[in-house]
């Protein structure tokens, strides 16, 4: 055996243990085994297994077949071998074949650079000597990079085990989008979470979160069962948030048939046949049913000033994010609170006028002017949350 390693580390698997130990003894290779339940002792190999499993999960998910990993395995291995590693800064392909850039086929690049005839012994020898020279220069650099990576991993592991480093806990706030972990995953090639994206409505003091889907259905899960969703989710049109039922009925005729002409309201998820609404063609983009359109018109009518020419972002108003929901809750808590406004009534330092009134919360859709102030003199005016904080008595 050429280029044999000095030592070999493996887990406590009993398959072919005797034959493998005999082979290592004949090759003068030191044989070491890891402790049970301690994968950190063989971290590099376990990391490779993890990367390959994640890639195989995605391949099986795209093919919608758990047995599709056999077909995608050659392409995945080719991509892994031709990718530079974080530890050595080189790809395994380059270290094995002597600095050749991994292209398919690899001989095409050399033939484009200069004519090369391997039938000529001198040309073949020159090519091998050139690769050997590159290997003699690259291997020490790769070995040094590997030692640096191993030392960095040792320091990180020591910090975690001694408690000098504590991982930042994941906090789920109302309005965040999350996945739900699977209870029992029978196959390691399945994703550990379900595909459906849910929104956190509230989190209780005992660590139980109330989750709501786009269909309005609510469920309860512990926060340990939740995984954060970092995808750019549009809460009004993203199809991953809601899957309509097969027997979804039209709100006008009550028939669940003719799904090709069924419109799904992006506000309340109800079904409507567009011929039943007397529409000439199927609308494109964001569509709201007549009920949600009326709700939007009421919210715009309550806001002072002219109606904006541009179409507002309906998704942000009907399905706000966590920060906006916190502002809505704070504004709702200031309902009927007293405020005091001191104004300049004329010239001079003493010419001031103070007015007092009560805040009337207008609803979350009235943001940013959440309140109508009813002054004691009978007048009214709009007020934002920022200004209401300053004027509280």
| DSSP string for residues in 103-154 | -SSTHHHHHHHS---TTSHHHHHHHHHHHHHHHHHHHHHHHHHHHHHHHHHH
The confidence band for 10, taking pLDDT boundaries of 50, 70 and 90, is confident
Backbone angles phi, psi at 4, to 5 degrees: -80, 145
Stretch among 7-16, 68-77, 309-318 having the lowest mean pLDDT: 309-318
Beta strands 371-375 and 352-361 are antiparallel
Q: How far apart are CA 366 and CA 360, in angstroms?
A: 12
The confidence band for 243, taking pLDDT boundaries of 50, 70 and 90, is low
Predicted confidence at residue 288, as pLDDT, reads 80
The tokens describing 178, both together, are 């999350």
Q: How far apart are CA 10 and CA 17, in angstroms?
A: 10
- pLDDT mean across residues, the chain: 77
The tokens describing 41, both together, are 């002792």
CATH 3.30.40.10 fits 244-305, yes or no: yes
Task: Considering the chain, tell me which residue range(s) the CATH 2.30.30 domain(s) occupy.
Answer: 177-239
Region 366-379: mean pLDDT is 86
Predicted confidence at residue 307, as pLDDT, reads 47
DSSP H helices, the chain, are 17-26, 43-63, 69-81, 92-97, 107-113, 121-162, 290-302, 314-318, 322-333, 385-391
Alpha carbon 164 to its chain's center: 28
Write the burial class of residue 200 (CB in 10 Å: 0-12 exposed, 13-18 middle, 19+ buried): buried
The confidence band for 118, taking pLDDT boundaries of 50, 70 and 90, is low
Region 367-378: mean pLDDT is 86
In this predicted model, what pLDDT tens digit does every residue of 43-59 receive, in sequence order? 777 778 888 888 888 88
Region 93-115: mean pLDDT is 66
Predicted confidence at residue 313, as pLDDT, reads 47
Is pLDDT of 110 > 60? no
In Å, the largest CA–CA distance within the chain is 106
Cα dihedral 357, 361, 366, 368, rounded to 10, equals 60
Is pLDDT of 303 > 60? no
Is pLDDT of 26 > 70? yes
**DSSP annotation string for 70-95:** HHHHHHHHHHHHTSPPTTTSS-HHHH
Is pLDDT of 85 > 80? yes
Task: Considering the chain, tell me which residue range(s) the CATH 3.30.420 domain(s) occupy.
Answer: 7-162
Predicted confidence at residue 290, as pLDDT, reads 80
Task: Considering the chain, tell me which residue range(s) the CATH 3.30.40.10 domain(s) occupy.
Answer: 244-305
Predicted confidence at residue 158, as pLDDT, reads 84
The tokens describing 256, both together, are 């669940």
Is pLDDT of 370 > 60? yes
Is pLDDT of 279 > 80? yes
Is pLDDT of 317 > 60? no
Is pLDDT of 286 > 70? yes
Tell the residue number behind the tokens 């301690």, with chain if given: 38
Predicted confidence at residue 311, as pLDDT, reads 45
CATH of domain 7-162: 3.30.420
Write the burial class of residue 95 (CB in 10 Å: 0-12 exposed, 13-18 middle, 19+ buried): middle
Give SS3 for 387: helix
Write the burial class of residue 129 (CB in 10 Å: 0-12 exposed, 13-18 middle, 19+ buried): exposed
Predicted confidence at residue 104, as pLDDT, reads 55
Q: Please give the span between the terminal C-alpha atoms of the chain, in angstroms, as a whole number.
A: 86
Region 383-391: mean pLDDT is 87
Is pLDDT of 73 > 50? yes
Q: Name the strand (E) or helix (H) holding 381.
A: strand 380-383
The confidence band for 111, taking pLDDT boundaries of 50, 70 and 90, is low
Name residues whose C-beta falls within 8 Å of residue 66's C-beta, 6 or more positions apart in sequence: 60, 187, 189, 190
In this predicted model, what pLDDT tens digit does every residue of 56-68 receive, in sequence order? 888 887 777 777 7
The confidence band for 79, taking pLDDT boundaries of 50, 70 and 90, is confident
Predicted confidence at residue 353, as pLDDT, reads 78
Is pLDDT of 1 > 50? no
Predicted confidence at residue 309, as pLDDT, reads 46
Q: How far apart are CA 302 and CA 311, in angstroms?
A: 17
* CATH number for domain 177-239, candidates 3.40.1800, 1.10.3580, 2.60.40, 2.30.30: 2.30.30
Predicted confidence at residue 154, as pLDDT, reads 84
């Amino acid at each position: 055996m050429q280029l044999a390693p000095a030592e070999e580390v493996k887990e406590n698997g009993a398959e072919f243990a005797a034959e493998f130990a005999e082979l290592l003894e004949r090759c003068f290779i030191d044989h070491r085994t890891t402790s049970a339940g301690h994968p950190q002792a063989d971290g590099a190999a376990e990391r490779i297994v993890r990367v390959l499993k994640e890639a195989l999960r995605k391949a099986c998910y795209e093919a919608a077949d758990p047995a599709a990993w056999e077909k995608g395995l050659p392409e995945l291995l080719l991509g892994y071998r031709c990718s530079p590693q974080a530890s050595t800064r080189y790809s395994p392909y380059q270290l094995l074949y002597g600095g050749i850039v991994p292209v398919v086929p690899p001989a095409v690049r050399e033939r484009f650079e200069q004519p090369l005839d391997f039938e000529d012994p001198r040309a073949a020898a020159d090519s091998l000597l050139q690769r050997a020279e590159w290997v003699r220069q690259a291997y020490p650099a790769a070995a040094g990079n590997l030692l640096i990576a191993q030392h960095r991993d040792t320091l990180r592991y020591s910090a975690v085990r001694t408690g000098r480093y504590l991982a930042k806990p994941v906090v789920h706030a109302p309005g965040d989008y999350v996945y739900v972990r699977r209870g029992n995953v029978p196959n390691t090639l399945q994703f550990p979470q379900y595909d459906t994206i849910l929104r956190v409505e509230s989190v209780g003091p005992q660590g139980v979160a109330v989750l709501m889907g786009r269909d309005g259905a609510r469920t309860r899960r512990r926060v340990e069962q939740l995984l954060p969703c970092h995808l750019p989710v549009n809460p009004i049109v993203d199809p991953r948030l809601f899957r309509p039922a097969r027997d979804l009925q039209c709100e006008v005729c009550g028939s669940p048939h003719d799904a090709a002409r069924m419109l799904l309201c992006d506000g309340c998820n109800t079904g409507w046949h567009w011929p039943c609404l007397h529409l000439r063609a199927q609308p494109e983009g964001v569509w709201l049913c007549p009920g949600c359109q009326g709700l939007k018109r009421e919210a715009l009518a309550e806001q002072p000033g002219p109606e904006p020419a541009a179409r507002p972002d309906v998704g942000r108003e009907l399905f706000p994010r966590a920060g906006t929901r916190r502002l809505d809750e704070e504004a709702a808590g200031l309902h009927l609170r007293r405020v005091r406004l001191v104004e300049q009534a004329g010239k001079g330092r003493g010419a001031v006028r103070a007015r007092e009134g009560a805040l009337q919360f207008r609803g979350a859709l009235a943001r940013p002017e959440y309140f109508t102030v009813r002054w004691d003199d009978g007048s009214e005016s709009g007020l934002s949350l920022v200004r209401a904080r300053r004027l509280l008595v």
